[in-house]
Amino acid sequence: MTERILRANGVDLCVETFGSPADPAVLLIAGASGSMLSWGDEFCVRLAAAARYVIRYDHRDTGRSVTYPPGEPGYEFLDLVADAVGVLDALAVSQAHVVGISMGGGIAQLVALDFADRVVSLTLISTSPAGPGEPDLPPMSPALVEYFAGGGMSAPDWGDRDAVVEYLVAAERPFAGARPVDVGAAREVAGRVFDRAVNIASSGNHFRVGGGESWRGRLASTKVPTLVVHGDVDPLVPLGHAEAMVREVPGARLVVLEDTGHELPSGVWDVVISALVEHTGGEGRVGAPGRAEVLDRIRRLGEFDMSAAFERLYAAASRGEVEVPWARDEPHQLILERFKDVDGAGKRALVVGAGYGQDAGFLAGLGFDTIGFDISPTAVAVARERFPAARFLVADLLDPPSEWWGAFDLVVEVLIAQSLPAAVRATGIAHTRRFVAPGGTLVVLASARDDDETVEGPPWPLVRAEVESYADDDLRAVLVDRTGNRWWAEFRRDQR
């Protein structure tokens, strides 16, 4: 997963993603005063494991996103709607399955109505077509009416972590159903909410936001498949609100959560995740991005969880759902030409980022004792089946086995460093050079760019200085050749 501050809709919002950018996107929108942690970590991980690219974010005035003085929100409800679309823009997501809870469900409704071309499906949890107080909809429970009439809970000292944690935990109780509450887990989450907040006192600003005129009369024009999920004992917006939503949104269907209030407790995650996976395409690829969008999504992320992203991409390719953009059916032509007459008997070779194994399989055929490694277990499994003469292992270039240092007579790196974000590229290059044994050779093939040429990437073609940086005190460059838009470089380690 990755968490970062992105510029969205003209403000700074903290966004976190789970899973592969190659999968259909699911945007999770929290309720009033809720940060991204309203969506549990495990909930997001499990949804991502069902081949979904899960996105959660901190609303304004929550978590690490932009904040305003307590009691003085500098925005209106429609700005929160535009923020949701801005998050998609910032991550290069053209369309998403949009999921909102409580106030987030209201935001989701307007995203589907006002930005219909950005929404593949809509899921509305614990929400309403109109909100509490609409005369034709069930009112709040008497207990909750009495709670609000009494002024609710007194605000804590917002600078006192323990007091705020207890306040946040207690504030959920009037809205909960009959399910047992894991108080320890609730306190842990509340502590994280406090620790992440730029200004925890500002989270109440959502209740002062204006500009959310009723859109109930427009719900009949909703064009996307809609799932309504609601607790059977919701005291704030009782089940009748969900039933009205199903009547007013064409084709909407309802899933009722037993013993559940205005909440999404872990005890209902099995039901909700199963319903979400089915609604967003089952095992299919509804809303899956094309190749250009996948690369753009990765570029927008910058540094990302490479193990998750590459594995999800290779796994999707193994199911026939996408193509791996850099996959080749044959060894690279330059590798074929350079090594076709080489006898590798008695020598060890290492292929960095072996992918589906073509280059490693070729070197093994020349007699090299060859290891090809990749961060993706799926890619390694495919390579093992296709090229049994080589050994293929799952490993991370940024954290490789220490026994590989200085262990290989030939190291081959084809288009790998250029796939690494700038912050870790130098580390990848340094590790690659360390694999070379005394007297050994390193071969590097990379796309090329000029020093003054800017690229958005990935990939990020290498400048000459980056290619030359593979050398060190006793690993000397014997060839650095640029032909058009590619580098071919060879380095040789001195004998010791």
Q: Sheet holding 2-8: strands in order across?
A: 2-8, 11-18, 53-57, 25-29, 96-101, 119-125, 226-231, 253-257
The count of other CB atoms within 10 Å of the CB of residue 192 is 15
Q: In sequence order, which ranges of 150-267 are alpha helices (DSSP H)?
A: 161-172, 183-196, 239-248
234 is catalytic: yes
3-class DSSP assignment, residue 172: helix
- Alpha-carbon torsion 103, 109, 113, 115, what sign? positive
DSSP state of 290: P
12 is catalytic: no
User: Which neighbouring-strand residues pair with 101?
Assistant: 125
Residue of 227, 299, 240 whose CA lies nearest to 454: 299
What does the chain come to in residues? Answer: 496
- Alpha-carbon torsion 258, 177, 246, 83, what sign? negative
The count of other CB atoms within 10 Å of the CB of residue 260 is 24
Residue of 349, 328, 303, 299 whose CA lies nearest to 92: 299
102 is catalytic: yes
Q: Which residues contact 411 (CB under 8 A, 6 or more apart)?
A: 349, 350, 352, 432, 435, 436, 440, 441, 442, 443
The count of other CB atoms within 10 Å of the CB of residue 146 is 11
**Active-site residue, from 234, 296, 369, 409:** 234
CA separation for the pair 143, 187 (Å, rounded) = 24
Angle at 38 between CA 265 and CA 312, to 5 degrees: 95
Helices 306-318 and 291-301, packing angle to 10 deg: 170
User: Which neighbouring-strand residues pair with 475?
Assistant: 493
List C-alpha distances in Å: 414 to 32, 151, 224, 461, 490: 49, 66, 44, 12, 12
Token match 């609409």: residue? 134
**Active-site residue, from 102, 128, 202, 203:** 102
Residue of 11, 5, 48, 10 whose CA lies nearest to 27: 48
3-class DSSP assignment, residue 285: coil
User: Which neighbouring-strand residues pair with 26?
Assistant: 54, 97
End-to-end CA distance of the chain: 43
**Active-site residue, from 59, 206, 262, 279:** 262
Residue of 452, 450, 472 whose CA lies nearest to 461: 450
What are the catalytic residues? 102, 234, 262
